Amino acid sequence: MGSIYKSARTTFAIILVILMVFGFCAELYDIQIKNNEYYAAQNNTVKTYTVELEAARGEIVDRNGNPLVTNRQGNSIVLNAAYFPSTKENDKRNEIVYNLLQLFKKNKEEYARNLPLKLKKGKIVFFTEEDDENFEADIATMKNKDMFNLQSYATAQNCFDAMIEKYELEDYLEKYGIKTALELGNIRYELTRLLFSVSNPVTIADDVSDKTVAQIKENMSLYRGADVRVVAYREYADSTLAPHIIGTVRKINAEEYERLKSEGYGITDEIGESGIEAAMEGNLRGIPGEKTVTIDGDGNVSEEVTKEPVQGDTVVLSIDKDLQKLVQNRLRKICRQVSVAHSTGAVVVEDCNNGEVLAAASYPSFDLNDYYEHYNELTKERNTPLYNRFAMGTYAPGSTFKPMMSLAALEEGVIDENSVIVCNQYLKVADHTFKCTWDHGGETVRTALRDSCNIFFYTCAQRLGIDRMNTYGKMVGLGEKTGVEIPEAKGILAGPEYRKRYGMLWAPGDTVQAAIGQSDNLFTPLQLCNYTATIANGGTKYRLHFVKSTISRATGAVSETEHASLGKISVKSKNIKIVQEGMRLVATEGGPSYILNSLKTKVACKTGTSQVVIKGVKHNNGFLITFAPYENPEISVATAIEMAGSGTSTAEITKSVINYYYSHNAHEKTAQNYSSLLD
């Protein structure tokens, strides 16, 4: 019985072997004879890769077509995995990288330095905030499992040792020392960090000289895998012009990449970081092209551009380049003339009939060309030049608040245009006595605006109450965002609601203080300018905007920005006219009259002063809101100078703006032919 069972097993095994051999023979016949041509072709073409081609960002121009931000062509050095040694050939990779580094150093080229390790006094240490503001995240990335696979508590030396082992840099460490090994590891780390592959070449040096390009091309065997790529770099007509508006561009970070990769962003792409560059990213970012890379079975590489990249849209700003330059220069001059050192400020100019910002300046400012190079120094400067004062700076507006108070009092009927309130310089509220600058006697609303009489507006506040005051404050846009494309502060409209958030009480004396733009009131220069425009144009409030239009690079189509009216404020035209007349008296008979009366253009305005305490010393910030011309207003101007002493001291800036605007007919300039800008 046992022998029969063994015989059956043997027979089954023999049959199984025969079947397997037959199967292999059939497969061999299919490959070698029947479908020989097909399999030969398959073997000849190993793989096809698609490489993304970077598209140039769109240009930014002013309202008249003058270039503000364009692109220039430059060369970057890219490592291309199709020609570069494989990961199994660390010795060859290291040799090529070493040769490239020697060339970069000889020609004084900057190259990628994203490994968060450095040599300090002969020791390996981590980057600090001075080296990289995101140093903590970068160190964590270096330690994770996809990089050096170390525990979170690993030291800088542990990371360095792991790098040496991972990239087999022991010979270079022994022969050339720590510094060279670290430099080599830095480039190798960059390749790992950016997922280096045939589909994803990695840039290791930006904007290199023609000399370096020529030397690489002449010695391709020495620098195998290194390729020269022509790329577009941002170029500024004037890198000091409107930097807070234009903004900056930088390489995408890991967090942004994870969020945006589904939208087609690559791990090495650039992205708008701030200002219009960030706000209009969707328009400015071009449409990437594609290059197909084919590697055959013999290792031969062929490349073909299968989709040309398309440059991003041109963004047309509402600002006037020359007016912007003038405003910046005048603001800088006035701030430097202020007796108190380190004065700062902001100016905004608006078309009061559509909400277009014609100019906006913040002082001190910065140079876009030097931004990244000097970023750490800029962040530590006493006067914070990176801080956008016209959009983010909030100030107690002082008496520039009084036109709004006049509107509220007239509309609510607590006064009329002929009501007289007597100012004897003092007003007692509860147990506190409030003062005016001097004894004005009987004041009507028009003369109270001219004389900036505190007692008049204290009394109006008592009659109105804070809730009705704030209804009108919100109505004209104070303590509310203006809607501009770039980040802006909301500000604060003083009142019980705000105090309640912080567990504080609102007292009767706070209401009268709020009436003259003090207490908790804090507004941005953008808000003050737009509020002035609303009064000037008869009560229509517009959404402020910096973008006038966009022009498609692909089709040439122009998309105009809608002049979004936020509606007419609920105030009678007669009452607005009364306030305009009072503001006209300020310009002709008030503090700034000796400056503004010299203008050929009639204007209306209101000065303001608010007190601040710095290191125990009291200083006055100065403000001036203006519209022109008086009869048919076209522009509004708001100036804020910290520690200026008074609003009148800012009038020289306003005078320069109005002189420029009307002498140059800025509002009537004909834009250049847009298509000519794109050629």
pLDDT digits (tens, 9 = 90+) for 140-160: 999 999 899 999 999 999 999
Judge whether residue 323 has pLDDT over 70: yes
- Supply the mean pLDDT for the chain: 89
Judge whether residue 390 has pLDDT over 70: yes
Question: What pLDDT is attached to residue 49?
Answer: 78
Residue 78's nearest CA partner among 249, 245, 197 is 197
Give me the phi and psi of 301, to 5 degrees please. -115, 135
Q: Which residue has the tokens 């073409």?
A: 45
Helix (H, G, I), strand (E, B) or coil at 63: coil
Confidence of residue 646 (pLDDT cuts 50, 70, 90): low
Other Cβ atoms within 10 Å of 9 Cβ, number: 10
Question: What pLDDT is attached to residue 339?
Answer: 60
CB burial of 102-132 (b: ≥16 within 10 Å; e: otherwise) equals: ebbeeeebebbbbbbbbeeeeebbbbeeeeb
Region 473-486 average pLDDT = 97
Q: Are 145 and 245 in contact (CB under 8 A)?
A: no
Q: Pick the most confident of 213-217, 264-268, 321-325.
A: 321-325
Question: What pLDDT is attached to residue 614?
Answer: 65
Residue 403's nearest CA partner among 238, 568, 203, 577 is 577
Q: Where are the beta strands (DSSP E) in 592-670?
A: 604-614, 617-628, 635-641
Q: Which residue has the tokens 């309130």?
A: 421
Q: How far apart are CA 316 and CA 61, in angstroms?
A: 5
Helix (H, G, I), strand (E, B) or coil at 33: helix
Q: How far apart are CA 393 and CA 488, in angstroms?
A: 8
Residue 360's nearest CA partner among 244, 518, 218 is 244
Judge whether residue 112 has pLDDT over 60: yes
Q: How far apart are CA 644 and CA 37, in angstroms?
A: 86
Q: How far apart are CA 565 and CA 534, in angstroms?
A: 11
Residues in the chain: 679
Question: What pLDDT is attached to residue 679?
Answer: 29
Q: Which residue has the tokens 């290791």?
A: 204
Confidence of residue 362 (pLDDT cuts 50, 70, 90): very high
Question: What pLDDT is attached to residue 322?
Answer: 96
Tokens of 279: 């706000």
Q: How far apart are CA 315 and CA 323, in angstroms?
A: 19
Q: How far apart are CA 549 and CA 426, in angstroms?
A: 53
Q: What angle do CA 621, 625, 629 make, to 5 degrees?
A: 155
Which of 72-76, 401-405, 569-573, 648-652 shows the lowest mean pLDDT across its residues?
648-652
Confidence of residue 30 (pLDDT cuts 50, 70, 90): low
* pLDDT tens, residue by residue, 531-540: 999 999 999 9
Confidence of residue 331 (pLDDT cuts 50, 70, 90): very high
Question: What pLDDT is attached to residue 561?
Answer: 85
* pLDDT tens, residue by residue, 452-465: 999 999 999 999 99
Helix (H, G, I), strand (E, B) or coil at 569: coil
Alpha helices in 194-313 (DSSP H): 210-218, 243-246, 254-260, 275-279, 281-284
User: What count of Cα atoms within 13 Å lies in the side-chain half-sphere of residue 491?
Assistant: 27
Question: What pLDDT is attached to residue 32?
Answer: 55
Alpha helices in 229-320 (DSSP H): 243-246, 254-260, 275-279, 281-284
Tokens of 313: 């849209």
Helix (H, G, I), strand (E, B) or coil at 210: helix
> In angstroms, what CA-CA distances link 602 with 100, 659, 667?
67, 11, 17
Q: How far apart are CA 428 and CA 430, in angstroms?
A: 6
